[in-house]
């Protein structure tokens, strides 16, 4: 079982939600929630984000954050569950869309750095 399936079921039971209630809140079928909890299926990035919001947790708390080393043309790279979620999100993008995504990420990163310099969050 994946960390996600265990985390989802534990959070759902702790919150006393039924699979149907979670499915309605997330906008997926009840069977999809059941498959998520049994580790038979993984949600896409947007669905994962909605689930994290419902339970007021970080997405990284829901997905496996155990680093995995992957060999690339540039050498070895360590990826965790969040990295894989980003890759899954962008794998269908065209090269132009990937370039725009990267540009937006850089803008976001610069914004975070600016806020840190200003002493804000």
- Contact at 8 Å (CB) between 64 and 81? yes
Q: How far is CA 55 from CA 14, 15, 50, 51, 61, in A?
A: 10, 8, 9, 6, 11
CATH class held by domain 3-62: mainly alpha
25-52 burial, b at 16+ Cβ within 10 Å, e below that, comes to ebebeeebbebbbeeeebbeeeebeebb
Give per-residue pLDDT as tens, 94-110.
889 989 988 998 998 89
Q: Closest by alpha carbon to 52, among 74, 85, 80, 79?
A: 85
Q: Taking the model in full, what pTM does it have?
A: 0.54
Dump pLDDT digits (tens) for 6-57.
Answer: 889 888 888 899 999 999 999 999 999 999 999 899 899 999 999 999 998 8
């Amino acid at each position: 079982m994946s960390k996600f399936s265990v985390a989802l079921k534990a959070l759902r039971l702790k919150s006393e939600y039924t699979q149907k209630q979670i499915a309605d809140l997330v906008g997926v079928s009840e069977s999809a929630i059941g498959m998520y909890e049994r580790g038979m299926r993984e949600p896409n990035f947007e669905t994962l984000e909605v689930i994290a919001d419902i339970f007021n947790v970080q997405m990284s708390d829901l997905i496996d954050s155990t680093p995995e080393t992957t060999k690339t043309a540039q050498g070895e790279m360590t990826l965790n569950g969040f990295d894989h979620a980003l890759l899954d999100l962008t794998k269908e993008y065209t090269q132009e869309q990937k370039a725009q995504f990267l540009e937006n990420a850089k803008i976001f990163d610069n914004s975070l750095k600016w806020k840190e310099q200003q002493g804000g969050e």
